[in-house]
Amino acid sequence: MDKDALRHWLHKASDWSADYLESVSERPVRAQGEPGSIYAALPEAPPAEGEPMEAIFKDLDALIMPGMTHWQHPRFFAYFPANSSPPSLVAEYVTAAMAAQCMLWQTAPAASELEARVLEWLRQMIGLPQDFAGVIQDSATSATFAAILTAREKVTGFTGNTKGLCGQAPLRIYASAQTHTSIDKAVRMAGIGSDNLVKVPNGSGPYYAMDTEALEALIEADKEAGLQPAAIVACLGGTSIGACDDIEAVAAVAARHGIFLHVDAAWAGSAMICPEFRDLMRGAELADSFVFNPHKWLFTNFDCTAHYVKDPRALTDTLGMRPPFLRTLGREEGETPGVTDYNEWSVPLGRRFRALKLWFVIRSYGVEALRTKIRNHVAWAQGLAKTIGAAADFEVVTEPILALFTFRYRPRFLKDASDETIDALNARLVERINDDGRIYVTQTTHEGRFAIRFQVGQTSTTARDVEIAWEVIRELAGASKGGIGAS
């Protein structure tokens, strides 16, 4: 492709992208095709000769687009959002043009220095104190893995890296049952073993916080048994129902026993830019490590995970490799002020220029407009939960925590039905809603029972989209004959 053709196709890609976003709300939110149909429509072997871009774009529309689930659809209420925004998208285009590897300060000085500055902005935005230093990781899973590895190294005097864990008293990690499976994965990958991940029971308060008395008792019993408590992972906004631990109380236990504390705020962390929600993170300033995903709910394209640590040296002593071919002569990290080699803070060596999109987003919106968007999401979710709670044939299962709640359909004419019947009915309702395509929701299990999850967080969602969601849910639940309840 010569330079004129490149310019032509970049314009074409911009137009395609703008057209896509303008019309995405007319598409079904969740892909509607049958498994295997796209694979079957693709040639079995690669083309020997280059094909014209027209043909490739044509197949993008014909073959690929019908198989996409539209995360930037304004009626995406499933999972958690992985939202984007116009400034973030524009930044991703120019990032792709530079295609820089930002592993060392020298390989992209601006990327390294912008990352440092933008993460200071973000730290102030969520109200974390100055004694945290930040790095952008590729995912919350990676950040939590890095945190668990750091905790492992701290408790073993940095011998886990050299000698392995053989012959060590088993390390123990504590987390509530509401924490994300990325904690389970980190414990496996760190060689600690999932049998040493202690799931602490949850209390029954409004936030389903871990029971810190139980936590303390479990730690004491482990110490008594000669095991080594290494880390506690507190959760701020669990994935199932948004559970939040009382971080201050957890931090007090961590401090009493000298245990590393990591906070997983992957989704809810973004809401902390609104001071009125910060009660939820009280005590986070006492943590050793804190992670949240601007790529979830802060209008910044995946991937962009903000990871804050109190002691960056512990992190870089855990992950930094510094082979001779990656040294920047005369400008070593830790020796030259202004030089940060962020690869030493992360599991992968190579790094995309992720700070750029965050910088575009924060500058283009400004903090106040970002707050307004999140406040709206929370208010709309809470409003819908209230409406559903008041509806005769529905019940709220868990009240909203920020912009997430769960509910189920329980029609009056099935008031004597078994739990299993109601669970099956709701599972069919979720399928029916997602086959319909006007909205997209997913499900969870709460206290052993099926519940429909609903979260508001997509960038272009409006109050009207949330109203439409309720209209669609009621229509498809069909408290009338022929509706799902009657079948």
Binding site for ligand PLP (CB under 6 A): 80, 139-141, 180, 182, 237-239, 264, 266-267, 293, 305
The three-state secondary structure class of 190 is: coil
Shortest CB 426 distance to ligand PLP, Å: 22
Task: Name the residue nearer to ligand PLP (CB basis): 302 or 409.
Answer: 302
Shortest CB 268 distance to ligand PLP, Å: 8
Closest to 314 measured CA to CA, from 105, 115, 147, 137: 147
Shortest CB 386 distance to ligand PLP, Å: 24
Shortest CB 442 distance to ligand PLP, Å: 13
Shortest CB 266 distance to ligand PLP, Å: 3
Residue carrying the six token digits 């019908």:
66
- The helix (run of H) or strand (run of E) holding residue 404 is strand 404-409
164: number of Cβ within 10 Å: 11
Task: Name the residue nearer to ligand PLP (CB basis): 139 or 196.
Answer: 139
Which residues are paired to 401 by β-bridges?
404
Closest to 151 measured CA to CA, from 318, 328, 400, 380: 318
Task: Report the side by side order of strands in the sheet with 133-137.
Answer: 133-137, 305-309, 289-292, 260-264, 228-235, 171-176, 197-200
* C-alpha distances out from residue 417 to 393, 425, 451, Å: 13, 10, 16
Rounded to the nearest 10 degrees, the angle between the axes of helix 367-390 and helix 463-477 is 30
CA dihedral 136, 239, 248, 378 (to 10 degrees): 90
Distance from the Cα of residue 30 to its chain's centroid: 19
Give 462's DSSP letter: -
Give 90's DSSP letter: H
**81 vs 72: CA distance, rounded Å:** 9
Task: Name the residue nearer to ligand PLP (CB basis): 182 or 459.
Answer: 182
**27 vs 76: CA distance, rounded Å:** 11
Tokens of 152: 């492992």
**310 vs 323: CA distance, rounded Å:** 26
Task: Name the residue nearer to ligand PLP (CB basis): 73 or 180.
Answer: 180
**101 vs 5: CA distance, rounded Å:** 26
Letter for the amino acid at 268? A
Tokens of 311: 């002691």
Shortest CB 26 distance to ligand PLP, Å: 28
Shortest CB 139 distance to ligand PLP, Å: 3
CA dihedral 465, 469, 474, 477 (to 10 degrees): 160
Shortest CB 306 distance to ligand PLP, Å: 11
Task: Name the residue nearer to ligand PLP (CB basis): 142 or 318.
Answer: 142
Shortest CB 126 distance to ligand PLP, Å: 15
Task: Name the residue nearer to ligand PLP (CB basis): 128 or 422.
Answer: 128
Shortest CB 185 distance to ligand PLP, Å: 9
Rounded to the nearest 10 degrees, the angle between the axes of helix 355-365 and helix 86-98 is 150
The terminus-to-terminus CA distance of the chain in angstroms comes to: 58
Shortest CB 178 distance to ligand PLP, Å: 9
